[in-house]
């Protein structure tokens, strides 16, 4: 073989390799998974990464999407919100993903929003949040306040006769905004300001002795007292432990949590927590054929029947299935086409109903209040009669009450119904 022949052969082989690589890329749809696999939020988010890997594997076994194989691309945002921004940009620009499923905290979501807006990509956000937001590139499959916080407070008032309120949260966007809404709602219900105690602690907070003592003292005024907890991440472990150390039972001062589910309880001694509450849109203990099948699939995938399921996993399940249906309907993964196809898309939830993606990019969900059992599961003590539509803007904040989100007819996330204008968030 001459030098010229060898050169031409080498160029031909390289061209063939590049063509093969390009074809392989064309046959693949990349799905970004943006969760904390280390740091304070890993206790909650690692299982969401695993759930997404299972959903991708199942979809590939069913033929993929548009005849193409789904390829998961996993990044660790390490409970670091500026890093989440960088990793989101990496997923979209460098890795070429067509959609991202991720974040837990609102700080994470707020950090990555500008990236999805700038690069016109899609984020499915699977966790309960504070509302007061509706962004074109984000689909909110977790609960808005009217799908979790407000119903939980109503339950405590009507069933437990609660008159004094401790609003305890981690110091970031979600707890502060949720508690702002709840404070306004409670005052609207006639609760006096002196009957509301608000406390914030940093992520990873571990020394709860003083705060739990303050809660006990606040609850000793002769009025039924409850704690509404928006404490996130691994700070829940020492918080509940200190409640047990102080002998605070659910009969004395019930705690209703919005960020403690089966996954968090799996790392706790649940004996002192029996009877305390959580409000979610899904519990592992709910007996439906859909949930039974999901749990069996989860155990088979993860290889461990001690691994639990939880609400944000169901939110990823719903969101993923909605995305698949929207892509198939649009015939493409192009962001604009998929965003247009998603409103009105329906997907089964795991509690026996059908969830719908609304024009405000939130979904319909049932609401449950569950009581912690000694096995780390929840006994459902209350539920809504029907699915509740997610409300992006709270009716209980004067600045939000006139706002409406509609990305179909109004093409606006914060349309002011009084001024009839679309304003900046």
Question: pLDDT digit string (tens) for 287-324?
Answer: 999 999 999 999 999 999 999 999 999 999 999 999 99
Can you tell me which residue has the tokens 């001694």?
A: 269
Residue 137 has pLDDT above 90, yes or no: yes
Q: What is the C-alpha separation between 14 and 8, in angstroms, rounded?
A: 10
Q: What span, in angstroms and rounded, lies between the C-alpha atoms of 210 and 3?
A: 81
**Whole-angstrom Cα distance, residue 225 to residue 164?**
5
273 pLDDT above the threshold of 60: yes
* Residue 24: pLDDT band with limits 50, 70, 90: very low
Q: How far is CA 204 from CA 227, 236, 387, in A?
A: 19, 9, 34
What is the residue extent of each domain of the chain?
28-144+287-366
Residue 391: is its pLDDT beyond 70?
Answer: yes
Residue 303: the pLDDT is 98
pLDDT of residue 265: 87
pLDDT tens, 184-207?
A: 999 999 999 999 999 999 999 999
The string of pLDDT tens digits covering residues 343-371 is: 999 999 999 999 999 999 999 999 999 99
- Predicted confidence band of residue 47 (pLDDT cuts 50, 70, 90): very high
Q: In this prediction, what percent of the chain has a pLDDT beyond 70?
A: 94
Classify residue 274 as exposed, middle or buried by CB count within 10 Å of its CB (0-12, 13-18, 19+): middle
| CATH architecture of the domain with residue range 28-144+287-366 | 3-Layer(aba) Sandwich (3.40)
Position 10 scores a pLDDT of 45
Q: Can you give the pLDDT at residue 266?
A: 87
Q: What value does the mean pLDDT take over residues 394-405? A: 96
Closest Cα to residue 261, out of 377, 126, 104? 377
Which residue is listed with tokens 């519990």? 283
- Where are the extended beta strands (E) located within 77-189? 99-102, 123-125, 138-140, 164-170
Residue pair 22/65 in contact by the 8 Å Cβ criterion? no
């Amino acid at each position: 073989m001459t030098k010229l022949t060898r050169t031409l052969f080498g160029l031909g082989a390289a061209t063939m390799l590049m063509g093969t690589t390009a074809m392989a890329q064309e046959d693949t749809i990349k799905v970004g998974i943006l969760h904390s696999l280390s740091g304070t939020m890993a206790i909650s988010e690692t299982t969401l990464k695993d759930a997404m890997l299972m959903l991708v594997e199942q979809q590939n076994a069913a033929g993929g999407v548009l005849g193409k194989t789904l390829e998961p691309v996993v990044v660790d945002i390490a409970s670091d919100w500026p890093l989440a921004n960088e990793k989101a940009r990496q997923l979209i620009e460098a890795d070429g993903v067509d959609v991202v499923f991720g974040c837990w905290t609102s700080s994470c979501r707020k950090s990555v929003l500008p990236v999805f807006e700038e690069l016109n990509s899609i984020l499915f956000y699977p966790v309960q949040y504070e509302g007061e937001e509706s962004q074109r590139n984000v689909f909110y499959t977790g609960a808005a306040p009217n799908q979790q916080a407000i119903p939980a407070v109503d339950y405590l008032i009507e069933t437990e006769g609660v008159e004094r309120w401790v609003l305890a949260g981690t110091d970031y966007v979600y707890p502060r905004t949720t508690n702002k809404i709840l404070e306004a709602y409670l005052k609207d219900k006639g609760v006096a300001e002196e009957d509301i105690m608000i406390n914030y602690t940093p992520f990873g907070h571990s020394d709860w002795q003083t705060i739990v003592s303050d809660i006990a003292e606040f609850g000793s005024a002769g009025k039924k007292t409850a704690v509404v907890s928006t404490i996130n991440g691994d700070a829940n472990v020492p918080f509940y432990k200190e409640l047990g150390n102080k002998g605070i039972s659910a009969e004395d001062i019930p705690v209703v949590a919005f960020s403690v589910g089966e996954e968090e309880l799996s790392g706790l001694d649940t004996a002192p927590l029996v009877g305390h509450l959580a409000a979610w849109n899904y519990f592992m203990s709910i007996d439906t054929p859909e949930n039974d099948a999901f749990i069996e699939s989860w155990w088979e995938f993860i290889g461990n029947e001690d691994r639990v399921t939880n609400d944000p996993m169901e939110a990823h399940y719903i969101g993923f299935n909605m995305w698949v249906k929207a892509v198939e309907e649009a015939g493409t993964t192009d962001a604009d086409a998929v965003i247009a196809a998603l409103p009105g898309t329906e997907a089964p939830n795991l509690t026996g109903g059908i969830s719908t993606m609304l024009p405000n990019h939130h979904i319909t969900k049932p609401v449950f209040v569950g009581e912690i059992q000694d096995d780390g599961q929840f006994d459902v003590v209350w539920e809504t009669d029907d699915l509740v539509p997610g409300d992006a803007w709270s009716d209980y904040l004067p600045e939000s009450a006139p706002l409406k989100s509609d990305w179909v007819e109004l093409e606006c996330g914060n349309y002011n119904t009084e001024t009839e204008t679309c304003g900046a968030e």
